[in-house]
Amino acid sequence: MRVIDIIEKKRDGGELTREEIIFFVEGFTNGEIADYQAAAWAMAVLLNGMTPGETTELTLAMAESGDVIDLSQVVPIAVDKHSTGGVGDKTTLVVGPLVAASGLPVGKMSGHGLGFSGGTLDKMESIPGFRTDLSTQEFIEQLRSTGLVLTGQSVDLAPADGKLYALRDVTGTVPSIPLIASSIMSKKIAAGAHAIVLDVKVGVGAFMRNLENAQELAEMMVSIAKQAGRRAVAILSDMNQPLGYAVGNALEVREAIETMQGLGPPDFTEHCLEIASHMLHLGQLAKDEGEGRKIAKNALDSGRALDYFRMLVQSQGGDGSVVDRLDRLPQAKYQETISASHDGYLQGIHARKIGEAAVKLGAGRSKKGESIDHSVGIIVHHKVGNWVEAGEPLFTIHASKEPLLNSAIKEVLAAHTFSDDKVDPLPLVYGIVK
- Which residues contribute to the site for ligand URA (CB under 6 A)? 165, 174, 179-180, 183-184
The one-letter code for the residue type at 133 is: D
Query: DSSP labels for 217-238?
Result: HHHHHHHHHHHTT-EEEEEEEE
Which one, 80 or 411, has the nearer CB to ligand URA? 80
The one-letter code for the residue type at 332 is: A
HSE toward the beta carbon, residue 44, CA cutoff 13 A: 19
Quickly count: other Cβ atoms within 10 Å of residue 371's Cβ: 7
What is the edge-to-edge ordering of all strands in the sheet holding 246-247? Answer: 246-247, 377-380, 393-399, 334-339
Phi, psi of 81 (to 5 degrees): -130, 150
Quickly count: other Cβ atoms within 10 Å of residue 172's Cβ: 12
Which one, 102 or 176, has the nearer CB to ligand URA? 176
Which one, 84 or 316, has the nearer CB to ligand URA? 84
CB of 162 to ligand URA, least distance (A): 10
Which one, 166 or 414, has the nearer CB to ligand URA? 166
Which one, 71 or 158, has the nearer CB to ligand URA? 158
CB of 53 to ligand URA, least distance (A): 19
Which one, 181 or 243, has the nearer CB to ligand URA? 181
What pairing do the DSSP bridges indicate for beta strands 334-339 and 393-399?
A: antiparallel
Angle at which helices 3-11 and 18-29 cross, to 10°: 120
CA 190 remoteness from chain centre: 17
Residues in Cβ contact with 5 at an 8 Å cutoff, skipping those fewer than 6 apart? none
State the catalytic residues: 82, 161, 168, 183, 187
CB of 298 to ligand URA, least distance (A): 33
Which one, 59 or 183, has the nearer CB to ligand URA? 183
Long-range contact pairs involving 292-301 (C-beta distance under 8 Å, separation at least 24): 295/102, 295/103, 296/98, 296/99, 296/102, 296/272, 297/273, 298/102, 299/97, 299/98, 299/99, 299/101, 299/102, 300/98, 300/260, 300/262, 300/269, 300/272, 300/273, 301/262
Which one, 140 or 184, has the nearer CB to ligand URA? 184
Smallest CA-to-CA distance from 37 within 135, 211, 167 is with 167
Residue 340 burial class via C-beta count within 10 angstroms: exposed 0-12, middle 13-18, buried 19 and up: buried
**CA 67 to CA 380: how far, in whole Å?**
42
Whose CB is nearest to ligand URA?
Answer: 183
Q: Are 12 and 44 in contact (CB under 8 A)?
A: no
Which one, 142 or 186, has the nearer CB to ligand URA? 186
Phi, psi of 145 (to 5 degrees): -85, -35
Partners of 334 in the β-ladder: 399
CB of 77 to ligand URA, least distance (A): 23
Please, what's the largest Cα pairwise distance for the chain?
70
